[in-house]
């Protein structure tokens, strides 16, 4: 998909492979490396490769969901825009508020885990 700005002639291009790679990166390569280092002492004998593969497969539907939404709504990149245009404005607000709360609760936990590992 290409976006051409008429006034400046600027062309922004993001193809399907770019969208796939961007969404696939959110599976969490850093978490896949750091969490086993932290949790490995609590779960001896756990198969981390199998857990990573299962997690990657389970996240593929979400990845493809964002991929197809980016094809249908090419210049909209926000979760709020996707949800509000498909399910209505109120559902978009509910999603935005739930993301704010989950990020507010999740980032301190991740930061604490990183500090504990160091």
Question: What's the pLDDT tens digit per position in 47-79?
Answer: 777 877 887 788 788 778 777 777 777 666 567
pLDDT at 26: 63
pLDDT at 101: 81
Q: What is the mean pLDDT of residues 93-97?
A: 84
Please state the pTM of the whole predicted model.
0.48
- pLDDT recorded at residue 5: 57
Residues 20-32 pLDDT 10s: 776 666 666 666 6
Q: Where are the domains of the chain?
A: 1-74, 78-118
Question: What is the pLDDT, as a whole number, of residue 81?
Answer: 76
β partners of residue 3 = 12
What does the buried/exposed string (b/e) look like for 17-45 if buried means 16 or more CB atoms within 10 Å of the residue's CB?
A: eebeeebeeebeeeeeeebeeeeeeeeee
**Rounded distance between C-alpha atoms, residue 9 and residue 4, angstroms:** 6
Q: Output 114 or 45, whichever has higher pLDDT.
A: 45
Output the average pLDDT for the chain.
Answer: 71
* Three-class HEC string of the chain: CEEECCCCCCEEECCHHHHHHHHHHHHCHHHHHHHHHHHCCCCCCCCHHHHHHHHHHHHHHHHHHHHHHHHHCCCCCCHHHHHHHHHCHHHHHHHHHHHHHHHHHHHHHHHHHHHHHC
pLDDT in the model for residue 57: 82
User: Residue 88 — pLDDT band, cuts 50, 70, 90?
Assistant: confident
């Amino acid at each position: 998909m290409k976006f051409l700005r008429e006034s400046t002639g600027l062309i922004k291009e993001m193809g399907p492979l770019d969208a796939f790679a961007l969404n696939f990166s959110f599976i969490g390569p850093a978490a896949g490396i750091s969490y086993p280092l932290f949790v490995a002492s609590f779960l001896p004998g756990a198969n981390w490769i199998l857990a990573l593969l299962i997690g990657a497969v389970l996240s593929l539907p979400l990845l493809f969901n964002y991929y197809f939404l980016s094809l249908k709504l090419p210049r909209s990149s926000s979760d709020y825009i996707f949800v509000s245009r498909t399910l209505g404005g109120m559902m978009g607000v509910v999603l935005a508020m739930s993301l704010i709360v989950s990020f507010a609760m999740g980032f301190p936990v991740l930061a604490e885990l990183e500090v504990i590992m160091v």
